[in-house]
Structure 1
Amino acid sequence: MTNIDEKLSADGSDVKTVAPETEDVFGPEDDHDIQYKTLSWQYVAFFMIAEIVSNGMLTLPNAMATVGIVPSLILTIFLGVFGLFTAKLLIDFKLNHPDVHNMGDAGYLIFGPIGREILSLGTIIFAIFGVGSELLSGQLALTTLSNNGMCAVDLLLIFSAATFILSLPRTLGRMSWLGFVSTIAITLCGLLAMIGAGANPTPGRMLSATVPTTFYNAFLAVTGPVFAYAGHFMFFILISEMRQPRDAMKAAWTLQVFSTAFYAVFSVVVYVYLGNTVQSPALLSLSPVWAKITFAIGLVNFLLSGALYSHTAAKLIFVRFFRHSRHLYTHTVLGWSVWTFLCFGATALAFVFAAAVPVFSDLTGITASLFASWYTYGIAGFFWLYDTYYLGGEGAKALKRRWGGTVLSVLTIISGAFICVAGTYVSIKLIADAYASGTVGKPFAC
C-alpha cells in the first residue's frame, strides 16, 4: 500500500504526508504474458455505459408515474451531475494512489484493515447481486420471447451458463468488444422501446406533472433514479486496466452526459405514451410484438452486463490473492484454475440467490442501499478529505483553506448516509409487506 511518512509540521504538530506510488497495481508489463493495462478511455466509457444504463433505464418511467414528470426529471438531472462530481473525486483519488485497485484497497488506505474488509466484501456482494439482477432480466426476456415455453428456472440456468462463459477472459481488454456491443444493444433497446410506446400508446392514459405522495412511496419510486447511476464501485478496477489512467475523466464525462440525457428522454417519452400504468421494467408495458423485439435486443446487454459484474467480483478476489505474484500475469495452472473457479462461484451464487430467494429484487435494493449509496455517492467525500489532509502536508490547515471543497465533501458523505438509511428502510418494508400480503412466491418455482 501507499507509503506513509511521519513529518513535523511548521506549528509543531504531527502531520502525515503520503508519498504517491510510482508503480500501479500491475506494475511494468513489458515481459508479462498477460497484460492488463490495455484499455482506452473510449472502451472504459463503453463498459461504464453498458453496466450502468442496463437495468437502470427500464425502471425510470414507473418512477415518473409515481412522483410526476417534474420531480423525476429534476432528480434524474441532479443525480447525473452529482454522479459526475463524485466520479471526479474517485478518479482523482485513483490517480493519487495508483496502487489502489478496488474499493477495498481504498478502504485500507483510509480506514485500515477493517475498512478494507468491509469495502471489499461490499463490492463482492453488490457485484454478485448485480449478476443476479441481470440473470433475472435475462430470464424475463427469454420467458417473453418463448411465450412461457420453458420453466423459468431452466431459462435462468441457461442464461447463467452463458454469463459464466463470457466472464472468463482474464483481462478487461479481452472483453472490450463486449462492452461496445452491449452499449449498442441497450441504446437500441431504449430507442425501439420509445418507438414501440409511440406506436401503441395506452388509450385514455393519465399523465401527472407532480403527484402528492408519502415519503415512503416517494423514496420507493426515486430509488430507480438514485441507483440508475450506481456503477462507481467498478471505477477503480476499470481505471487500473487503462493504458492512460489520466484519461479516465473523459470516460466519466461520456458516461454521465450520455446516461443523463438518455434517461431523461427515455423516461419522458415512454411515460407520455404509456401513462401512469407503465410497469417496471417498462418493456412489460409494450405491446407483445414490441416487447419481444426490445427484450431480444436488451437480452444482449443483460448477458454482457452480468458477465462484467461476475468478472468484477472475481477480479477483486483474484488480485487480492495473487497481487505481485507470477500467477497474476503468467499462464499458470493454479492461476487459471482459481480464476475459473471464482468466475463460476460468482455466477453460481447469483443463480442460487435469484432462483431460491422469492424477494431477491428487494434484497438487491438492500445491497444497493447499503453499498452503492456509498460507492456512488458518499465515500467520494472521504477520498477528497483524506487526500487534502495528507498529500499537501498541511493537515487541518488545508481543509480550512479549501473550505468550499470541505463543505461539499461533508455534504456528499451526509447524502450517502441518507440514501443508505432511507433506501434500506424502504427495501426492508417492501419485504415485510410482501410476506404480510402473502404475495411472496416459492423458491425454484417455474
Structure 2
Amino acid sequence: MAGKHEHSRHADTTAFTDYGEGEVAGGVNDVFGEEEHHQIKYKTLSWPLVSILMIAEIVSNGMLSLPSSLATIGLVPGLVVIIFLGIFATYTSWLLVKFKLRHPQVHNMGDAGHILAGRVGKEVLGAGTVIFAVFATGGQLLAGQIALSSLSGERLCPVLGAVVFAVPTLVGSFPRTLERLGWLSVPSVVCIAVAGIVGMVGAGLEPEEGRRVRVVESPSFYTAFSSVTNPVFAYAGHFMFFILMSEMKTPTDAMKAAYTLQTFATTYYAIFAAITYIYIGSTVTSPSFSSLPSTYQKAAYAIAIPNFLIAGCLYAHTAAKLVFVRLFRGTKHMHSHTYLGWTTWMLLVVVMNVLAFVLAVGVPVFNYLIGLAASLFAAWYTYGIAGCFWLHDVYHDHGGVRGWKARSFQAALAVATFFAGGFVCVAGLYVNIRGIIEAYQSGEVSRPFSC
C-alpha cells in the first residue's frame, strides 16, 4: 500500500511540474469523464476557439471606459497601467492553467475554493462566480441599451431598450455546450474590433476642438483609483478559465489561448485608449463611443451590438452552467437528453437572465454595484487568488515550506499577487461605496424602471 501511495504521489508531482507533456487532465478525475458514448459531449473546444471565446468575453464594453482613465491620470501613466495589467493578467492566467491541469476535477472557482479552504471556500467562491456572472450579464444589457438609445437618437425608453436587448441574450444563452457559443463568438470578436476601429477613425477625422491632452495628470487618490479600476476590470475574465478549460479537447493547450487573448487584449486596449483620448481629450466620456460625432457614434454602437449580445450570453451561460454542474455532476442528466436535465437547464438560464435584467433596469445604482461585485470577486479571480493556487500546490507537492524556500522568487511573486488582489479589492470597495453615497447626495440616482 505504501508503494502504491508513493507512486500516486509521484504521478501528481509529475503532473504539476510537467504540464506540457501528455494528457494531464484526462481520465476518471476529469469533471466530465469519458464522453465517447454520451449524447451530449462537452469536451469539444479547440484552443483557437477558446481564444475567440475569451476575447469575445473580455474585450467587450470594458474597453470603452479606458480612454476616460487616460483622461484622469494622463496618457503615459494610463498606458503603463494597461500594459502592466496585461502582463500581470498573463502571469495569473498561467497560474490558473497550472492549477487546473494539476486538479482536473476543478470545473469552476467553487471547486478550486474547496481545495484551498474546504466547504467554506467552495461556497464563497462558487457563489461569487454566479453573482459576478449575473452582474456582468446585466452590464452587457446596459451596454446594449445604451447602444440602442444612441441609434434611436435617445428617443427609445431605456427600459424598453433593455427588454429588446434582453430577449436575444436569453435565447443565445440556451446551448448546453460552449462550442455552440464559440462559433457565435467569431463574428462577435470581428464586430468589437471593427467597432473600435470605426471609433478611432471617427475621433481622428473629427477631433474635439480645443481638446486638452496631458502626458501626466495629478488627481486625488479617490479619483485616480476610480479611474484605474477601469483597466483593472477590463481584464476581469479569469473566473471563466476553469469552465472553459473543462470543455477543451486538449486542456494542455490552454496557455496558447491565454497568450492569444492577452496579446490581443493588451495591444488593442492600449491603441484604442491612446488614439481615442488623443483626439477627444479630457472630455471623453465612458463609454467612449458616446463622445464621438453622431454619425460615428451610431456606426460604432451598431457594429458593437453583436459583441455586447454574445458577451451577455456567455456570462449568463456561465452562471447557469456552474449551478447545473453542481446539481447533476456524475449523473445521467449531465450527458443525456433527459426531461429533468433539459428542464432544469432552461429554468436556470431563464433565472440568470431575469436576475440580470431586473438588476440592470431596476436598481438605480447598478453601475456602482457592478464595481462592487468586481471589487469583491473579480479582483481575486483575476489577480489575488492565483497566487494562493501556486502556494498550495507547491506546498503539498514539494515538501511544504521547503518547497517555497527552494522557489523563493516564485513564492514572493505569488504572495505579492495575493496582496495585489487584496489591495484592488479593498480600494475598489472604497471608491464604489463612496461613489454610491455621492450619487445619492447629488440626486443622480433615478427611479427604478424609469424612462
TM category, shorter: over 0.9
Give the deviation of 1:148 after TM superposition.
Answer: 3.0
Check if 1:420 corresponds to 2:425: yes
Tell me the amino acid that sits aligned with residue 140 of structure 2: E
Give the deviation of 1:18 after TM superposition.
Answer: 6.1
Residue equivalent to 1:132: 138
Tell me the amino acid that sits aligned with residue 302 of structure 1: F
Residue equivalent to 1:316: 322
Residue equivalent to 2:202: 196
Residue equivalent to 1:232: 238
- Retained in 1: the 8 A contact 2:226–2:431? yes
- Retained in 2: the 8 A contact 1:283–1:294? yes
Q: How does 1:105-120 map to 2 (within 5 A)?
A: 105-120=111-126
In the alignment, the residues of structure 2 paired with residue 16 and residue 382 of structure 1 have an alpha-carbon distance, to the nearest angstrom, of 22
In the alignment, the residues of structure 1 paired with residue 326 and residue 4 of structure 2 have an alpha-carbon distance, to the nearest angstrom, of 27
Check if 1:403 corresponds to 2:408: yes
Residue equivalent to 1:155: 161
Deviations 1:347-388 (A, max 9, x none): 100000111111100010000000000000000000000110
Q: How does 1:329-408 map to 2 (within 5 A)?
A: 329-392=335-398, 394-408=399-413
- Retained in 2: the 8 A contact 1:6–1:16? no
- Retained in 2: the 8 A contact 1:16–1:390? no
Residue equivalent to 1:221: 227
Alignment counterpart, residue 261 of structure 1, candidates 257, 267, 274: 267
Give the deviation of 1:191 after TM superposition.
Answer: 0.8
Give the deviation of 1:150 after TM superposition.
Answer: 2.9
- Retained in 1: the 8 A contact 2:134–2:352? yes
Q: How does 1:70-149 map to 2 (within 5 A)?
A: 70-149=76-155
Q: How does 1:271-290 map to 2 (within 5 A)?
A: 271-290=277-296
Structure 2 SS opposite 1:358: coil
Give the deviation of 1:6 after TM superposition.
Answer: 13
Q: How does 1:302-313 map to 2 (within 5 A)?
A: 302-313=308-319
- Retained in 1: the 8 A contact 2:439–2:445? yes
In the alignment, the residues of structure 2 paired with residue 41 and residue 17 of structure 1 have an alpha-carbon distance, to the nearest angstrom, of 25
Tell me the amino acid that sits aligned with residue 79 of structure 2: L
In the alignment, the residues of structure 1 paired with residue 309 and residue 33 of structure 2 have an alpha-carbon distance, to the nearest angstrom, of 32
Tell me the amino acid that sits aligned with residue 434 of structure 2: K
Residue equivalent to 1:11: none
Residue equivalent to 1:205: 211
Give the deviation of 1:16 after TM superposition.
Answer: 12
In the alignment, the residues of structure 1 paired with residue 409 and residue 83 of structure 2 have an alpha-carbon distance, to the nearest angstrom, of 22
- Retained in 1: the 8 A contact 2:12–2:102? no
Residue equivalent to 1:48: 54
- Retained in 2: the 8 A contact 1:44–1:251? yes
- Retained in 1: the 8 A contact 2:137–2:315? yes
Check if 1:433 corresponds to 2:441: no
- Retained in 1: the 8 A contact 2:135–2:370? yes
CA RMSD of aligned residues (A): 1.7
Deviations 1:116-160 (A, max 9, x none): 000000000000000000000000111111223432111111211
Give the deviation of 1:29 after TM superposition.
Answer: 0.3
Q: TM-score, normalised by structure 2?
A: 0.94
In the alignment, the residues of structure 2 paired with residue 278 and residue 317 of structure 1 have an alpha-carbon distance, to the nearest angstrom, of 40
In the alignment, the residues of structure 1 paired with residue 156 and residue 204 of structure 2 have an alpha-carbon distance, to the nearest angstrom, of 31
- Retained in 2: the 8 A contact 1:68–1:208? yes
- Retained in 2: the 8 A contact 1:46–1:183? yes
Q: How does 1:166-185 map to 2 (within 5 A)?
A: 166-185=172-191
Give the deviation of 1:7 after TM superposition.
Answer: 8.2
In the alignment, the residues of structure 2 paired with residue 261 and residue 148 of structure 1 have an alpha-carbon distance, to the nearest angstrom, of 33
Deviations 1:169-188 (A, max 9, x none): 00001111111111111111
Tell me the amino acid that sits aligned with residue 443 of structure 2: G
**Deviates most, 51-60 or 82-91:** 51-60
Give the deviation of 1:43 after TM superposition.
Answer: 0.7
In the alignment, the residues of structure 1 paired with residue 111 and residue 286 of structure 2 have an alpha-carbon distance, to the nearest angstrom, of 36
In the alignment, the residues of structure 1 paired with residue 116 and residue 257 of structure 2 have an alpha-carbon distance, to the nearest angstrom, of 26
Give the deviation of 1:17 after TM superposition.
Answer: 10
Deviations 1:63-90 (A, max 9, x none): 0000000110110000000000000000
Aligned residue-pair number? 435
Structure 1 SS opposite 2:59: helix
Residue equivalent to 1:245: 251
- Retained in 2: the 8 A contact 1:67–1:213? yes
- Retained in 2: the 8 A contact 1:131–1:307? yes
Taking only the aligned residue pairs, the percentage that are identical comes to 51
